[in-house]
Structure 1
Amino acid sequence: MSAGLKRDVLELVRPDLRGFGGYKSARTEDISGDVWLNANESAWANPADASASVRRYPDPQPAALRTALAGLYGCAESELLIGRGSDEAIDLLVRALCVAGQDAIVATPPVFGMYAVSARLQDARLISVPLIDGDAGFAPDIDGIAAAVLEQRAKLVFLCSPANPTGRAIPLEQIEALLTRLEGRALVVVDEAYGEFSAVDSALTLRSRFPELAVLRTLSKAHALAAARIGVVIAEPRLVAVLRACQAPYPIPTPCAELAVAGLSTAALATTQQRVATVLSERARLQAALSVLPGVRRVYASDANFLLVRFVDAERAFRALLAAGVVVRDQRAAPQLDDALRITIGTPEQNARVLAALNAQAVAA
């Protein structure tokens, strides 16, 4: 723990939830038997359930998946909570720490919208500290974030790294500096949904020194399991226990857990690594090609699996891509991005279609 940290991480939790036990489901009881009549489940499998396993409620935190994820991220199982993607973790953190109508969170727009949505649902104030658009791309205002927390007593800071939709990762020393300056007065949450595509070290390397740090990871992006909805929050074990008490009784469906375990096998991880390498190569190629297209104002450097691109006429570019059957994310409603589109890195063939469509509309213009 840093010498400046004086507060127990549980002091950041809502007072009424510090001893909250949550709902105790039938699957949380440590009992054994061969005739299970304690959860009012069907005695027969559904005719479509070939495995005959879906009639049973799932393990709330599937043991095999928990072990696999702890190994993947290099943390203790007690530090890890599995949820329905990073979205659920964000919602749980806001609900567990913020007293409705009283507490606040800090977010850094333009950024992933779920931080603001979760704050609104909990009636927590949203304090915006905008990213700064500089020569190297968008970057967080670390001084502004620290000042907002200290002056307005925010409970949570959400840092997206690599940032969505702007693409850049936050250098580890900046995250460390922020944690040190806040002296445990707020929980700093680093959302690393795109971490596999970045050369910047994970904030997980700071966890042992800063109890007021939580890190979000997901299998939705690099691991290609978006529909399985598997995400984790990695944090101080006592905070993880509070979040589990606030979570729904059975968050992880058995088929999703089984698929995720298979998707984290040695062979599957090797394939994932190869595909990440392809994304990195294609990211560089697409960035270079887009940068010289007529009508493109700027292509931002990215540490993620997408590129943020500014256009002279973003509407024309968006429509040209749609006409070619290519769907990209329109960012023009986001702060500071009224001329921007976000383009995910696809296969080489898909990326070629992006370039062909934009080239065609440039020639037509």
Structure 2
Amino acid sequence: MTSDPVLSLVRAEILALTPYSSARKEASGGKVWLDANENPSTPHAGAPRLNRYPEPQPAEVVARLASLYGVKPDRILVTRGSDEGIDLLLRAFCRAGQDSILTTPPTYGMYSVAAAIQGARALTVPLVREKDFAVDPDAVIRAITPETKLVFLCSPNNPTGQLLDRDAVLKVVTALATRAVVVVDEAYAEFSTEPSLVQELDANPNLVVLRTLSKAYGLAGARVGVTLASPQLIGVLQKIIAPYPIPAPVVRAALDALTPAGISAARQSALDLVGERRRLTAALVKLPHVRKIWPSDANFLLVEVTDSARVMNIARAAGLVIRDRSKDVPNTVRITIGTRAENDFALETLARV
């Protein structure tokens, strides 16, 4: 048993687990590498040198992410997208057929999918539509059971776009300090002007924050996610993550993105997309079939229309790919903010509805 209230929520068999020790974990800095059964060369001419396994957690990537988010490196785990971070948390905390998570729909679907894969129940406390999909912290706290191990809050929320109220989120975190881990998914944080909850990690050991390089940094194809948590919890997740999760080409892409020039470019890109978000909102709201556009702190808009099926049919016929979110919010589509030309094409297409 552990005296740490957060670690006491972790599955006992995971706490007791002796993790796999990879060759790269056991040795570094050598001259001749004969420990990992690798090919000593790359046989096919012209191919990049990928014959060696990468670092399990690339030290320079971790260091640059720590600097970017203002935390110590031992609070960071680099994953294959935030989805892997979600999956690791479910595997670490939830016993199949016994434990549960809590989500606040409409929200990102992978939380409940990961729970189903793990055999955990997904409790739900819907966001309050009448308040632009605000979270009800008291309802969340009341819904927690002794078997609820994880609470997932997406802020800015996908698919609705709004930032969750910071005080409401922290109320949940504080109330559940010894009862559950609160996971705040900040995949779209760069498109908001509000400060990240990463700065609250020191005061709240049961808080986990998920970040990604997929959105503002434009590396969706590389799959670089970041889980930020207490060093103790990061240590637990390191027990169960795959031995070499970040391929060498992805490491290089991440390092390029995390240079001062790369960070500056990402921030400018986010500002440009926010400007386009405002322009697209102002134009869409004038269309007669658009009923409502929810305020967005992300790089997309949730738009309520009179007939989402008709909108989707016309969009598909024109080659415009948008997302029907009617199963989450009736008669809605989600439109990602693209380039100015892409947004103009979307407006021209949707004006024909």
TM over 0.5: yes
Q: CA deviation at 1:247?
A: 0.6
Q: Does 1:190 align with 2:184?
A: yes
Match of 2:213 among 200, 211, 219: 219
How far did residue 216 of structure 1 move?
A: 0.2
TM-score by length of 1: 0.93
Q: Distance in 1 between matches of 2:27 and 2:72?
A: 21
Aligned counterpart, 1:255: 249
Kindly report the root-mean-square deviation, in angstroms, between the aligned alpha carbons of the 2 structures.
Answer: 1.4
User: Where in structure 1 are there 5+ consecutive unaligned residues?
Assistant: 1-5
In 2, are the aligned partners of 1:194 and 1:221 still within 8 Å (CA)? yes
> Which of the numbers 33, 39, 56 marks the counterpart of 1:42?
39
CA contact (8 A) 2:98 2:147 kept: no
Amino acid in structure 2 at the alignment position of 1:304: A
Cα separation, 1, equivalents of 2:230 and 2:123: 25
Compute the displacement of 1:49 (Å).
5.5
| Amino-acid identity (%) | 46
Matches within 5 A, 1:264-343: 264-334=258-328, 337-343=329-335
User: Do the aligned partners of 1:20 and 1:242 also contact (CA within 8 Å) in 2?
Assistant: no
**How has the CA–CA distance of structure 1 residues 356 and 78 changed in structure 2, closer, same or farther, with 3 Å as cutoff?**
same
Helix, strand or coil: the match of 1:134? helix
Q: Secondary structure at the match of 1:138?
A: coil
Question: Paired residues, what number?
Answer: 351
Aligned residue identity for 2:17:
F
- Separation of aligned partners in 1, 2:304 and 2:29: 60
CA distance in 2, matches of 1:49, 1:131: 53
4+ residue segments displaced more than 6 Å:
none
Counterpart for residue 3 of structure 1: none
Structure 1 equivalent of residue 19 of structure 2: 22
1:133 aligns with 2:129: yes
Aligned to 1:235: 229
Q: Which residue of 1 aligns with 2:9?
A: 12
1:157, 1:187 within 8 Å by CA — same for their partners in 2? Answer: yes
Indicate the residue corresponding to 1:79 in structure 2: 75
The 3-state SS of whatever aligns with 1:166 is coil
Structure 2-normalised TM-score? Answer: 0.96
Q: Note if 1:70 corresponds to 2:61.
A: no
- Deviates most, 15-24 or 302-311: 15-24
Could you list the runs of 5+ residues in structure 2 that have no partner in the other structure?
none
Deviations 1:272-324 (A, max 9, x none): 11111111111111111111211111111100000000110111111222222
Structure 2 partner of 1:100: 96
For residue 212 of structure 1, report the CA deviation from its aligned partner: 0.3
Does structure 2 conserve the Cα–Cα contact (< 8 Å) formed by 1:65 and 1:260? yes
Name the counterpart of 1:204. 198
Residue 144 of structure 1, aligned match among 135, 139, 142: 139
Aligned counterpart for 1:246 among listed residues 228, 240, 248: 240
Q: Which amino acid aligns with 1:64?
A: E
Distance in 2, Cα, partners of 1:62 & 1:20: 23
